[in-house]
Amino acid sequence: MTYELRPHTADVAVAATGADLGETFAAVADGLAAATCDDIPETGERFSLSVRAEGLEALLFDYLDRLIYERDVRGVLPVANEATVREDDGEWVVEASARGVPFADVTARDVKAVTYSEMRIEEREKPRSPGDGESGLSRATGEAGADRTEPGDGRPEADDGGWEAYVVLDV
């Protein structure tokens, strides 16, 4: 899983990739953390959350919104995100966890909100690996560390199939 912070005149955009939807969602969430804080320490306890929505874009929107809410209410920065995404009875569900770094341990900027503006979630051209099921059930391990790269003009560097997402954050 990778993410890049992309230029946007007023705000910040995150472009992310993952082998599956869960990895991709978690990579966007790690991008959200990176837009908030440059140096992330190894402190904090993990917490879990679950979000359900009517579609994939709505699910990504609500997932990131929930992380921002948890950030403000718990007083922690959610990092090292892990997520699984599945379809359930016509809706989409993300089961996720994050490590909540106490605000006291970081110097962080406020990201106000997630936006739908220019949002994309797309399956990349190369077929997904045989291990991935048809349901989209997947698992990502955020602790492995995301690869933060400098802004580029093209798509994220890795191009080995899987999923990609693009989200503009209001800062």
Partner 1 sequence: MTTREFDGIQLERVREFVWEIPREGDMRVPARVLASEALLEEIGEDRTLQQLKNAAHLPGIAGHAICMPDGHQGYGFPVGGVGATDTETGCISPGSVGYDINCGVRMMKTNLVYDDIRGHEEELVEALFANVPSGLGGGGVVDGDRATVEAVLERGVDWALEAGWAVEDDLEHCEDEGYRPDADPSAVSQKAKDRGKNQLGSLGSGNHFLEVQRVTDVYRDDVADAYGLEPDQVVVLIHCGSRGLGHQTCTDYLRKIEKRHGDLLAQLPDKELAAAPAGSELADQYYGAMCACINFAWVNRQVIMHRVRQVFERVFDRSWESMEMQLLYDVAHNIAKKEVHRVDGEERELYVHRKGATRAFPAGHPEVPAAYRDVGQPIIIPGSMGAGSYVLRGGEASMDLTFGSTAHGAGRLMSRTQAKNEFWGETVQDELREGDHVYVKAQSGATVAEEAPGVYKDVDEVVRVSDALGIGDRVARTYPVCNIKG
Give the whole-angstrom CA distance, residue 12 versus residue 10: 7
For partner 1, the binding residues in 72-111 under the rule CB under 8 A are: 72-73, 75, 77, 103-104, 106-110
Q: In terms of CB distance, is 21 or 59 closer to partner 1?
A: 59
Task: Spell out the alpha helix ranges (H) of the chain.
Answer: 21-36, 56-74
- The residue count for binding partner 1 (CB under 8 A) is 43
**CA-CA-CA-CA dihedral for 2, 28, 72, 76, to nearest 10:** -20
Q: Per-residue x/- marks for partner 1, 19-58, CB under 8 A?
A: -----------------x-x---------------x--xx
Which of the residues 130 through 169 are near partner 1 (CB under 8 A)?
150-151, 168
**Could you tell me the smallest distance in angstroms from the CB atom of residue 116 to partner 1?**
4
Q: Count Cα neighbours of 84 within 13 Å in the Cβ-side half-sphere.
A: 11
| DSSP string for 77-102 | EEEEEEEEEEEETTEEEEEEEEEEEE
Residue of 45, 46, 117, 126 that binds partner 1 (CB under 8 A) = 117
CA distances from 8 to 15, 64, 141 (A): 12, 19, 28
Interface residue list for partner 1 (CB under 8 A): 5-12, 36, 38, 54, 57-58, 61-62, 65, 68-69, 71-73, 75, 77, 103-104, 106-110, 112-119, 150-151, 168, 170-171
